[in-house]
């Protein structure tokens, strides 16, 4: 039976959602194609974390070593290379995260196996691997068929599937020895650096009013702030607003900003590029105001207003004051 190998990702004692998202995808694919799902857990003295994977796969391979406690590409690559060479999985899934972006291309080169990065969907059609990648800021889904090969490496965009920790499995745990670290070139993990909090913490807010390029000029921010004050919300923004320094970088939502999950996220004049969505799409309720009815933000919004935000804002503010 062919195997799908999923690389578990963890940081600072927490399994990251991407691990279970990939396992959801892997289990669906395995069910459709008579494959088995194995998770590779690289870590150090973190059996509590690896144990949590049991409900989501058939097998867990654990490598426990001080070199693997925190992500460091050199030992991680050596460990992955050893496991993939040994097990020859049909498909290896790695998160398209900072860690996966660092690992996947290098691993594909070392092992000479085809790689598709940043995929949102994976399927097997008549023995050929097909993937979907989003292009043009999420406006278009590109369907790609990989060339026929006996192994594939795919990196999965975070948020592409539900993170289901319980998938009615009871994974067997196998602990294996790490490879020799002799050829490591000396890169060391030293510490995680926490960004200094220069402003409010948008990740802690219950309600966010988030402004995008549609705000047009900094003088218009006052209207959004007035609305935010009226409903007890904190002001956040998309990247262009932070890049122009109209709001501090600490207010930026998205892949290169913060991930937020407020009770209410109100997006004003934000198109909803995937880099933005990745930081807010798990908000409990999303309300979008955009004059373009085809803006991708409406794909994740629970409520939407298609109109000029400068018409809508005063009406909303008045309603709540």
Ligand X SMILES: Cc1cc2nc3c(=O)[nH]c(=O)nc-3n(C[C@H](O)[C@H](O)[C@H](O)COP(=O)(O)OP(=O)(O)OC[C@H]3O[C@@H](n4cnc5c(N)ncnc54)[C@H](O)[C@@H]3O)c2cc1C
Q: Footprint of ligand X on this chain (CB under 6 A)?
A: 137, 212-214, 238-240, 252-257, 269-271, 273, 275-276, 279, 289-292, 295, 308-310
- Compute the least distance from the CB of residue 168 to ligand X, in Å: 36
Helices and strands in the chain: count of H runs, count of E runs: 9, 16
Name the residue nearer to ligand X (CB basis): 45 or 292: 292
Smallest separation (angstroms) from ligand X to the CB of 307: 7
Q: Residue 269 CB, nearest distance to ligand X (Å)?
A: 4
Minimum distance of ligand X from residue 250's CB (angstroms): 12
Range list of H helices, the chain: 17-33, 47-51, 73-87, 98-111, 221-231, 239-243, 274-280, 297-300, 309-320
- The two tokens of residue 133 are 């990648």
Q: Which two tokens stand for residue 189?
A: 């993990």
Tell me the sheet residues that pair with 139: none
Q: Cα–Cα distance between 24 and 165 in angstroms, integer?
A: 8
Nearer to ligand X, 189 or 310 (CB): 310
CB closest to ligand X, residue no: 254
150 is written with which tokens?
Answer: 């006996």
- Minimal distance in Å, beta carbon 267 to ligand X? 8
Output 32 or 308, the one with its CB closest to ligand X. Answer: 308
Q: Which is nearer to ligand X, 113 or 242 (CB)?
A: 242
Q: At what angle do helices 98-111 and 73-87 cross, to 10 degrees?
A: 50
Nearer to ligand X, 158 or 269 (CB): 269
Task: State the Cα angle at 198 between 234 and 254, rounded to 5°.
Answer: 60
């Amino acid at each position: 039976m062919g195997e799908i190998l999923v690389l578990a990702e963890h940081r600072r004692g927490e399994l990251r959602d991407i691990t279970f998202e990939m396992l959801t995808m892997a289990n669906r694919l395995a069910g459709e194609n008579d494959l088995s799902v194995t998770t590779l857990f690289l870590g150090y003295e973190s059996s509590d974390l690896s144990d949590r994977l049991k409900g989501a796969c058939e097998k867990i391979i654990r490598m426990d070593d001080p070199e693997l406690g925190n992500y460091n590409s050199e030992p991680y690559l050596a460990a992955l290379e050893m496991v993939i060479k040994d097990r020859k999985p049909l498909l290896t899934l790695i998160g398209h995260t900072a860690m996966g972006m660092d690992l996947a291309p290098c691993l594909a080169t070392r092992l000479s196996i085809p790689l598709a990065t940043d995929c949102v969907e994976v399927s097997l059609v008549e023995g050929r691997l097909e993937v979907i990648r989003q292009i043009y800021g999420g406006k278009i889904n590109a369907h790609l068929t990989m060339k026929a090969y006996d192994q594939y490496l795919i990196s999965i965009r975070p948020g592409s599937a539900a993170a289901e920790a319980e998938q009615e499995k009871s994974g067997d745990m196998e602990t294996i020895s790490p490879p020799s670290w002799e050829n490591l070139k000396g890169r060391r993990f030293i510490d995680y650096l926490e960004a200094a909090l220069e402003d409010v913490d948008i990740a802690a807010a219950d309600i966010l009013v988030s402004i995008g390029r549609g705000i047009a000029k900094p003088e218009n921010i006052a209207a959004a702030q007035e609305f935010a004050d009226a409903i007890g919300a904190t002001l956040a923004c998309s990247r262009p607003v932070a890049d122009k320094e109209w709001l501090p970088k600490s207010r930026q939502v998205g892949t290169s900003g913060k991930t937020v999950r407020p009770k209410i996220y109100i997006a004003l004049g934000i198109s909803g590029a995937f880099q933005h969505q990745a930081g807010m799409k798990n908000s409990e309720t999303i309300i979008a105001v955009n004059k373009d009815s085809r803006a991708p933000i409406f794909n994740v919004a629970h409520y939407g207003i298609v109109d000029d935000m400068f018409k809508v804002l005063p009406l909303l503010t008045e309603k709540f004051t």
